[in-house]
Structure 1
Amino acid sequence: MSDTVAETMLPETMTAIAIPVPGGPEALVPETRPVPRPRAGEVLVKVAAAGVNRPDVVQRQGNYPPPKGASDIPGLEIAGTVVAVGEGAEAVAVGDAVAALVSGGGYAEYCVAEISSTLPVPRGLTLTEAAALPETFFTVWSNVFDRGGLKPGESFLVHGGTSGIGTTAIQLARAFGATVFATAGSPDKCAAIEKLGAHRAINYRTEDFPEVIKAETGGRGVNVILDMIAGDYVEKNWKAAAVEGRIVQIATLGGRSTVDFTRLMLKRLVHTGSTLRAREAPFKAAIAAALKDKVWPLVEAGTVRPLIDSTFPLAQAAAAHARMESSAHIGKIVLIVG
């Protein structure tokens, strides 16, 4: 007996981007795959656009395998139209426009999503813009506001300020009443950061960010730091943090760290971290509910918007990855699927 309770007429096959052998951007190869069918608690989305994220690059390189049971097709966020609804997923209907966080499968014409991680497309956004929301907004909300506990009136520093995570974190932190600092590697990127609402952009190539933070905060430091670098940034973050500050680690692009814990103890810091992809459905559902209640109204009001750097057709996924690895982008890179 099928778990699908409603669907449109669906094709048997679709085009998807696969990774036959890990490697550089050229490892992304179009393939013909069967169209998946939703199980109980899932919906099938005809994908209009899919966001490109750093974890996709790491998966392509062979260093971030999908969780057990997830699709081997890369892609963690999509937007499109519901074409089939599984049992227990009747909160949406065939024909609804949605954006969804997925554990894989986004680089394809059709993708299955859990209903608990599926949200309506905010009013006023295109499907391309909506595809730039789920991965970064889920990540920022979970790590900056839930785990990091950022409160109105506090100060916040995010590294990689022009990345998808960075541009989202800057806007959300500012919208919720924080003073925002962010790092980037060029004058143009620093200008873009301040245009988004950062109080001060810091060029990490020419400035020492702990010293800038010290000067800008009267020696107090910042309350919350969102970091995806690690490496030698760990001790620098501890130096830039305020007493009882919170540092949240979401990636280690700078490699491993060797640290002296003295500053951590003297300042009574909390240094925590998390990953999102493999977390259980109820955890993601709680984030989705918070976003719908507290953030989607800000998106619909235009207070917070996804910043799109560039778009590429699905067949040019390799070029999209090359763009991401160049670090020249400001904002999100999106694949246009259908």
Structure 2
Amino acid sequence: MQMQAYTAVAGQLQLGLAPRPEPGPGQLLVKVAAAGVNRADLVQVAGLYPPPPGESSIIGLEIAGEVVALGPQVQGFRPGQAVFGLVAGGAYAEYCLLDQSLAWLQPDTLSSIQAASLPEVWLTAWLNLFTLGQLRPGQRALIHAGASGVGAAAIQLAKAQGAWVAATASSPAKLDFCRGLGADCVINYREQDFAAELKAMGGVDLILDPVGGSYLAGNQRCLRLDGRLIVIGLLGGASAELNLGQLLVKRQQLLGSTLRSLPLARKAELAQALARELLPQWADGRLQLSIDRVFAWQDAPAAHAYLAQNQNLGKVVLSVD
């Protein structure tokens, strides 16, 4: 049986036919209602971020939809339920496989569009702020690209942890957006030297950085003693000169992090933590979902262009229905 799906063809996002997947042990087959759009999708289309071995080559990392079939050994789910969750590939399709350990039942208070905006960015923010970054109350965090999907989640999570939060962005509208999410300090990186500004304020303990190379020197300058720099993207290049003197004298830690390639068991632990800690807050509005724009399924290339142009304030979602 065939279905429609988006794959990367010669560096372009292309809609075509693909085999409808069959659920294996522990898997749900989900009729997709909405799929989140992430920068990782754009990088995969460009040929620079292939799926992990054994995962679908169909684009997309997060879905919401209806369970239509169950694989062996599935517990706690049944056909007809509305679910959402994280996948390592396959979201831009009519049907997608979702492991039960990375699936949540969709509350009545969330639409499929809202639910599809959650898994990738909030799991990424949680992993890097708390599991890897060990952010504690009273510490100071810098969130680069604060108006992105991950940035919007990270600002809120860091504030909820009791941290002081600075965020960088590229326009007055994006700075206002970050303030509205709770950022204590906002910096226009096109007009201000973020490192100089933050160093003058006493520096930061943790930096979440999707930019990479071009920000490395500035990040090192404004990190405090025992500061942690976590690189989650390479928008500013993959190469830079590391100041080993600062690294040693200030006892800095430099970590690279990707959610997609983590073992399933590690991702399942994160999913359980978020279900316990955050699902009630998403459902009742204590945490802002920050959806910027919804594109129709047939307009997926336009959604990618919109994200590539850095226009979004928060999350971009595809409506598959």
- TM-score of the two chains, using structure 1 as the length reference: 0.92
Cα-Cα RMSD: 1.2
Moved over 3 A (4+): none
* Distance of 2:150 and 2:94 partners within structure 1: 25
1:140 aligned residue = 125
Structure 1 partner of 2:158:
173
Please tell me the residue identity of whatever aligns with 1:15: Q
The amino acid that maps onto 2:311 is: A
Of the three residues 30, 39, 42, the one matched with 1:45 is 30
> How do 1:118-157 and structure 2 match up within 5 A?
118-157=103-142
Residue 3 of structure 2 aligns with an amino acid whose one-letter code is M
Q: Distance in 1 between matches of 2:108 and 2:191?
A: 41
Aligned to 2:58: 73
Secondary structure of the 2:187 match is strand
Aligned mates of 1:141, 1:251 — CA distance in 2: 16
Work out whether residues 34 and 64 of structure 2, in 8 Å CA contact, stay in contact via their aligned partners in 1: yes
Letter in 2 for 1:32: L
Percent of paired sites with the same residue: 44
2:102 is matched with which residue?
117
More deviation in 294-303 or 304-313?
Answer: 294-303
Aligned to 2:295: 312
Match of 1:286 in 2: 269
1:259 corresponds to which of 242, 251, 268: 242
Partners of 2:9 and 2:45 within 8 A in 1: no
- Is 1:88 aligned with 2:73? yes
The one-letter amino acid paired with 1:21 is A
**Which of 301, 315, 318 is 1:332 aligned to?**
315
For 1:304 and 1:241, locate their aligned partners in 2 and report how far apart those are by CA, in whole Å: 28
Amino acid at match of 1:285: A
1:175 Cα deviation after fit:
1.5
Local SS of the residue matching 1:177: coil
Unaligned 5+ segments in structure 2 are: none
- Partners of 2:137 and 2:106 lie apart in 1 by 27
1:83-135 alpha-carbon deviations (Å, 9 max, x no partner): 11111222211122111110101001110011111122245211101101011
- Alpha-carbon deviation of 1:64? 1.0
Q: What CA distance in whole angstroms lies between the structure 2 residues aligned with 1:29 and 1:136?
A: 24
Of stretches 264-273 and 285-294 in structure 1, the one that deviates more from structure 2 is: 264-273
Matches within 5 A, 1:121-270: 121-216=106-201, 219=202, 221-255=203-237, 256-270=239-253
| Farther off after superposition, 261-270 or 101-110 | 261-270
Distance in 1 between residues matched to 2:196 and 2:241, nearest whole Å: 21
TM-score calculated relative to the size of structure 2: 0.97
Alpha-carbon distance in 2 for matches of 1:34, 1:94:
21
Q: Secondary structure at the match of 2:9?
A: coil
Q: Which amino acid aligns with 2:49?
A: Y
- Of the three residues 54, 58, 65, the one matched with 2:39 is 54
Provide the rounded CA distance (Å) in 2 between the counterparts of 1:283 and 1:122.
Answer: 24
- Structure 1 residue 303 corresponds to structure 2 residue 315: no
Select the residue among 9, 16, 31 that pairs with 2:5.
16
Displacement after TM superposition at 1:33 (Å): 2.1
Question: Does the CA contact (< 8 Å) of 2:116 and 2:317 recur in 1?
Answer: yes
Tell me, what secondary structure is at the counterpart of 1:194? helix
Structure 1 stretches lacking a partner, 5+ long: 1-11
How far, CA to CA, are the matches of 1:323 and 1:187 in structure 2? 19
Distance (Å, rounded) in 1 between the aligned partners of 2:236 and 2:283? 36
**Cα distance in structure 2, aligned partners of 1:297 and 1:273:** 30
Indicate the SS of the match to 2:93: coil
Provide Cα deviations, 1:143-192, integer angstroms capped at 9, x if missing partner: 11100001122111110111111111011111221111100011111111
Residues of 2 paired with 1:152 and 1:28: CA distance?
43
Letter of the 1:199 partner, please give it. Answer: D
Q: Structure 1: how far apart are the matches of 2:67 and 2:293?
A: 25
- Kindly provide the amino acid, as one letter, of the partner of residue 263 in structure 1: Q
Conservation of the 8 A alpha-carbon contact between 1:224 and 1:245: yes
Aligned equivalent of 2:306: 323
In structure 2, what is the equivalent of residue 9 of structure 1? Answer: none
Cα distance between partner residues in 1 of 2:115 and 2:55: 22
SS of residue matched to 2:70: strand
Task: Give distance in 2, aligned partners of 1:119 and 1:265.
Answer: 43
Q: Are the aligned partners of 1:122 and 1:299 in contact in 2 as well (CA < 8 Å)?
A: no
